[in-house]
Amino acid sequence: MNFVFENDFDFKSEMQKIDEPSTNTCLISGNPLIDKCVLDCNHVYNYDSIFTEIYNQKMNPKFKNDIRLKDNELKCPYCRKIQKGLLPPRKKIFRVTTTNKDYELDPLIVPTVDYLHLFEEGVCALPSCVKKQVTFLQRLNASVCCFHIKLPKTQLTKSIKLHNYLLKHPTTSLTDIPYFSLWEEIQKDSDLAKKQAKAEAKAAKEQAKAAKEQANAAAKAAKEQAKAEAKAAKEQAKAAKEQAKAAAKAAKEQAKTKLTI
């Protein structure tokens, strides 16, 4: 049913024009398309916006989603159509679960990877690992790949400690030293590094304290000097005022004497 008003105004056609999505702006953020990504349903988004949307669809527990998406599926937030396939990869974003994959860098499919880590290009801290996509773990101060991040925390920590120890002692051979003796050496090395870091932190703290005290002393001295200079200038101005007053009085007396004569 069409509603045609005066002057041939078609209300339904005008409403359909409003419902048609713009091809020049992102349908999520409304910003101009810069790094656009086109889904199978031909709806266009900026890559960052659609990436965040799909990330929330698959991970955020507060995100309301009636249909559970598979690893190789994504849903268009505009028309709700589910498509088979993944987002095209970007240079600095790798393997956030299965939101995207770079098959040229790593053709092996991994269906389950930690959602909470962004994997970027780098080198894994574990020995003999050739993976090129790593994530930095703050608690271990090391970068690990998407496979080794799933290791138990204790095993991962020991492996990284062993790797760092062998890097510091390249002449050490694992076949020439007993296992427990090796871990004693690693523990000693780790304790020594901790003590050294603690001593450096303490020295830096003492240095900062001394610098602060020196700055306070310099500021106090500058304040006292400025105060003394201001006082001297005030006294000098007072003396000049008294001198000018005396000169004016003398001139007045002299003029009075001339008038008397």
What local confidence, expressed as pLDDT, does residue 213 receive? 93
Confidence of residue 261 (pLDDT cuts 50, 70, 90): low
- Amino acid identity, residue 242? E
Query: What is the reported pLDDT for 91?
Result: 56
- Please give the pLDDT value at position 12: 63
CATH hierarchy code of domain 1-83 = 3.30.40
Distance from C-alpha of 59 to C-alpha of 53, rounded to nearest angstrom: 10
Note the Cα 148 to chain centre separation in Å.
Answer: 24
pTM over 0.75: no
- What was the pLDDT predicted at 104? 40
Winning range, highest mean pLDDT, from 57-66, 189-198, 239-248: 239-248
Residues 40-56 have a mean pLDDT of: 87
Q: Sign of torsion, CA 232 233 236 237? A: negative
Secondary structure E strands in the chain: 4-5, 9-10, 36-38, 44-46, 73-75, 82-84, 120-121, 133-137, 142-145
